[in-house]
Structure 1
Amino acid sequence: MQDPTNLNDQFAARSGFSPAEMLACLKCGKPNAPTRVNCLYCAAELENLSTGGEAGRLDLTPPEPHENGFSVIILPGARGEARPAAAVLGRSVDEVGKIVAAGVPFPVARVRNAEIAATLVAHLSNFGFSCATLADPELDVKTPPRRIRGIEFMTDRLRMFDFNTTAVFEASVDDIRLLAAGRHAVSRSTTSENLKRGKADTKKPEESKDQRDEKMLDVYVTGDERGYRIRTSGFDFSCLGEAKTMFASENIDLLAERIKELRAGIVLDSRYNDVRDLLDPVWEPDFHREAQGLHRSGLGRLSKQASDVFDNLNQFTKYSRMRNHLL
């Protein structure tokens, strides 16, 4: 079966329209010239999908960074038609197949308003998919889960100790519902440019790279949508007793299994690390530049430094919160 994304490029080249201008047929998924009313291949009517009135094209432009948006999520279980869904979403058939195969709720678009989200959900439903919509405030990355520094296993509950204060939280074993495992990855690329009398040196700037990767585990209980977060750093794994190892990365996995075994209904989701790349087109990792000013690089020498920083923390928080909302 031919990928409609490639077919779109080929047809666009022949028709004189750009790939972005082509209209996807919602029945067969094939591209059509924007001047057509009916599909060239199956004769289906090219429906009006956008708020702007253009036939056959849904405006999936994401909101501006300062605006709230709506995430459209494909739910697991339904066997929908990947080909027309891929054409509407602007993804490849292979990507849609991987999203369905992931077996977890998965965001496929983040759009500017509820009307566009509802329209997209309606058409994905026509293709056989079950969908849900979550607004940005429901994912609430500005209020991350509470970080905890230790856990005490009690007879019928967990006692959790806040990382930054003396606060203690208790949760009944019956209320523990979800454990979401993931990684916090930070990559920093720093360039250093030597200056001569306030002007840039003609030599190529020096570049250094630093990468950090840390396992995390989010714990959600009934009635508390914020949740609790465990990091490998700064956590006391003595609660594992004799099972504790010398390596924090092993201990956090053991802790997740220990909590999961407390009750049969607790869900442990470890899929984030496997599907992270597929999340990027919808929930982009944070990327920003940090200007670090002037630094002394030797006797009488100054250098100007700046860093490009990649950080996936907010992306994981969105995934974690989504799993809790849709459990």
Structure 2
Amino acid sequence: MTLPRGTVVHPELAPFVDKLPPFSDPYADIAATRERFRALLAATPADRSGVESRRHEVVRPDGSALTVEVYRPEGTGGGRGAALPAVLHFHGGGYAIGRALPGQDKTAIELCRELPAVTVAVEYRLAPEHRYPAGVEDCYLALEWTARHAAELGIDPERIAVTGNSAGGGLSAAVALMARDRGGPALAYQSLCVPDVDDRVAEEPVPADADDAPDPRTNSLRTIRLAWRHYLPEGAVADAYAAAARATDLSGLPPAYVLVCDLDPLRDPGLAYARRLMDAGVQVTVRNVPGAWHGFELYAPETRLAKETTAHRTGHLRAALYPAGSASGSSGSAAAGPVRS
């Protein structure tokens, strides 16, 4: 693996470096890329124990349908028990892939079980067929739908959060801005994991020196450049709802969790966004994963580093949605223990 001078891979992750697949342009044949992703998901089905789900069609302004899948702990529907918090999950995948199979959104299932919470997986429109603002408007529409149907979904409307990885993190940040600017629905928290919040990182020159160039198999500047090129309309300049870092005012946003990885080109933009949130008076927790690349958990899910990273993210989300003194309904997992920043 070729990494910039002075870069150190975390010892736990070193054995997985040579298992990284070779780089290929996912947009060269987007249909084939999505099919390979679906086949990979089908080969590793999710553990749905203790979780049930139902798919819903949300009508867009133009009459077309947005699909959302609502996951909930078994036995909590139909008005049974106290209202649960809700988490809207926006999947990653460069704004173009990453959609889970029906009933198989692993992140939504894990959050549903571990928090516990009602989780809403949003099947937003994908680029390049549907460029900005289609995807983010779908995500905001899903938030409005969730808040509007809080009573029948058994959701506490005061405890709704958004979360996502990579492009999903960027969409989460954008939806938080949209909710503030459009007068709601109010969000209790935004959990931004390796978020893609600034299109300007794609304008940075890619180092020509092989000793200084990041391994193309990781999330390189080239990959980020391709994602933004296919997400934004041709010739368009991103605004704050496309790239949250473009926003000039970050005040009045919900508390945030920002996770970044040491070897990820999205690290510095993510940290810069977290700092700007702090400067605007927003409560922010920041976690940097040392010696890790973008999406390392997919390749090394059983490592202690991956498990600790997931537990840290989940623990802070739980603490936000179950403030001190409230009943957490904790599953008793490692992620339910004391949270340390």
TM-score band by shorter chain is under 0.3
TM-score, normalised via structure 1 length: 0.23
Bigger RCO (CA 8 Å, 6+ sep): 2
| Bigger Rg over Cα | 1
Structure with the higher fraction of residues in strand conformation: 1
Structure with the higher fraction of residues in helix conformation: 2
